Amino acid sequence: MNLMGGTRQLALFGNPIQDCDHHEKLVHPWKGIVVNIPTTKAQDGRPAGESGSKLRDEYILRGLNNGLLFDKAYRVDGHGKKDWMKKDGPKLGLYGWIAGADDYNVDGREGEESAKLNAIQERTMRHIQKIVDDHERLTKLLESEKKKLEIKGNELAKRQVHNGTERMKLSEDLEQRQKEELHEKIIRLERQIDQVQAIELEVEQLKGQLNVMKHMASDGDAQVVKEVDIIFKDLVEKEAELADLDKFNQTLILRERRTNDELQEARKELKTSIGVKCMGELVRKPFVDAMQQKYCQEDVEDRAVEVLQLWEHYINDPDWHPYKRVKLENQDREVEVIDDRDEKLRELKADLGDGPYTAVTKALLEINEYNPSGRYITTELWNFKEDKRATLEEGVTCLLDQWEKAKRKRGMA
């Protein structure tokens, strides 16, 4: 069958828009109805006709995929709707028309098929609209999450700058305090040296006076003998005082040396136990172990990372609140604990086991304690040995040790 262009169609069928009934109601989207299709009996006895797609392709080839041209072509050929409805004997050939309101509401097979097609079309349109709405909602959600992440990133950058400034200030304060302590120690030692030198000078003077008095006492003068005795007693006292002072200095030196040794040991211990911990950060190992037990494949690392990132997103989501308030025994105040009935947590425990469940609940408790309003990871100075927040004294000692180590490196360089 030959393809007919638009000019040839108008020549054969006229202008379908001008010739149509503008008050007639048509089914939308437009549907064409074709009846009197030749059929044959199949082996099972049921009637069967040619493929519907083949018939549709023939219409497209003839240019009759246009609804009005389709209707006009059959009317011009005497095979339109009115011709089919006439009771004038047997009908030969195909009859066709565009579906209208009466076809949609008719109780016959054509009406049922038209209604089914329209129902399918409506369901399809609703489904498409739902997809579009979901896409818009997810896009808005993604934009919102992106803005939240940008805000959190800016806050984290500001916090890091602030922490750097505070660390520098603390380091300067420690350096100044060390200088002051060293200066005080130097002054104290200088005073002790001056005191020792003064006593030594006084002892030497007393020894000189004693020698002079001994020569004068040889004349038998009682007053001179008495003065010699007094000077000798003073000399003995000063020598004893000098010995005590020397002993005291030795004791201080030993005590300071022992204190320094103990401080070095404590600093070595602190270096291994004091550090910075990210509060609310998920531990990776439980997820890797769970994936190895569940899948036993080479890509367990990738699977573990995917699940880990998913739960990091859940933990940082302020709309998810897997907590419940409980009242402490013998107290009036309430505290927030993990809600073990939370659906997400129950699915996690059932799917991956206790390891990831414990890691997630621990991260939730940490982030709820240290940053409940922001719901993002913060840093804390941590005593890993005792699994608690490090005290200010522990932090200062650790920072002082790092400062001295850096100072020694600069000196060696």
Same domain, residue pair 257 and 174:
yes
The yes-or-no verdict on residue 216 having pLDDT over 80 is: no
Residue 351, in any domain of the structure: yes
Question: CB 113: neighbour CB atoms within 10 A?
Answer: 14
The tens digit of pLDDT for each residue in 117-158 reads 777 878 888 889 989 988 888 888 888 888 887 887 777 777
Range list of H helices, 371-412: 392-412
The yes-or-no verdict on residue 44 having pLDDT over 70 is: yes
Reported as a pLDDT band with limits 50, 70 and 90, residue 10 is very low
Same domain, residue pair 263 and 297:
no
The tens digit of pLDDT for each residue in 81-96 reads 888 888 877 888 888 8
- Residue 180 has a pLDDT of 83
- Residue 261 has a pLDDT of 67
CATH code: domain of residue 88: 3.30.70.2890
The tens digit of pLDDT for each residue in 100-118 reads 777 766 655 555 666 677 7
The yes-or-no verdict on residue 284 having pLDDT over 60 is: yes
Strand partners, 275: 382
- Residue 108 has a pLDDT of 52
Q: Any residues with CB less than 8 A from the CB of 4 and at least 6 apart, and which?
A: 12, 62, 63
Same domain, residue pair 285 and 351:
yes
- Residue 86 has a pLDDT of 84
Radius of gyration of the chain (CA): 50
Same domain, residue pair 263 and 310:
no
- Residue 8 has a pLDDT of 42
Same domain, residue pair 262 and 288:
no
- Residue 358 has a pLDDT of 93
Query: What percentage of the chain reaches a pLDDT higher than 70?
Result: 72
Contact status, residue 352 vs residue 287, Cβ threshold 8 Å: yes
Read off the tokens for 242. 């000098």
The yes-or-no verdict on residue 161 having pLDDT over 60 is: yes
- Residue ending a domain, among 105, 132, 157, is 105
SS3 (DSSP) at 249: helix
The yes-or-no verdict on residue 74 having pLDDT over 50 is: yes
Same domain, residue pair 266 and 286:
no
Reported as a pLDDT band with limits 50, 70 and 90, residue 21 is low
Reported as a pLDDT band with limits 50, 70 and 90, residue 17 is very low
Domain count of the fold of the chain: 3
- Residue 168 has a pLDDT of 75
- Residue 204 has a pLDDT of 78
Contact status, residue 95 vs residue 35, Cβ threshold 8 Å: yes
Residue 191, in any domain of the structure: yes
Q: Give the mean model confidence (pLDDT) for residues 244-254.
A: 77
Residue 325, in any domain of the structure: yes
Same domain, residue pair 322 and 257:
no
Same domain, residue pair 12 and 98:
yes
Same domain, residue pair 257 and 293:
no
Residue 367, in any domain of the structure: yes
- Residue 22 has a pLDDT of 56
Same domain, residue pair 305 and 236:
no
Residue 316, in any domain of the structure: yes
Q: Give the mean model confidence (pLDDT) for residues 321-326.
A: 88
Sort strands 323-327 and 334-338 into parallel, antiparallel or unpaired.
antiparallel
Q: Which domain holds residue 354?
A: 281-376
The yes-or-no verdict on residue 334 having pLDDT over 80 is: yes
3-state helix, strand, coil in the chain (%, to 5): 70, 10, 25
- Residue 24 has a pLDDT of 67
- Residue 237 has a pLDDT of 78
Residue 304 half-sphere exposure, CB side, CA atoms within 13 Å? 22
- Residue 2 has a pLDDT of 30
Q: Give the mean model confidence (pLDDT) for residues 196-208.
A: 76
The yes-or-no verdict on residue 33 having pLDDT over 50 is: yes
Same domain, residue pair 180 and 261:
yes
Residue 146, in any domain of the structure: no
- Residue 349 has a pLDDT of 92
Query: What percentage of the chain reaches a pLDDT higher than 90?
Result: 5
SS3 (DSSP) at 103: helix
Q: Give the mean model confidence (pLDDT) for residues 9-24.
A: 52
The yes-or-no verdict on residue 71 having pLDDT over 50 is: yes
- Residue ending a domain, among 105, 131, 149, is 105
The tens digit of pLDDT for each residue in 362-399 reads 989 888 888 767 777 777 777 777 777 877 777 777 77
- Residue ending a domain, among 223, 253, 272, is 272
Residue 299, in any domain of the structure: yes
Write the DSSP string, 283-307.
PSHHHHHHHHHHH-STTHHHHHHHH
The yes-or-no verdict on residue 224 having pLDDT over 80 is: no
Q: Give the mean model confidence (pLDDT) for residues 315-330.
A: 85
The yes-or-no verdict on residue 291 having pLDDT over 80 is: yes
Residue 184, in any domain of the structure: yes
The yes-or-no verdict on residue 242 having pLDDT over 90 is: no
Average predicted confidence (pLDDT) for the chain: 75
- The DSSP code for 97 is E
More confident residue, 344 or 249: 344
Same domain, residue pair 322 and 372:
yes
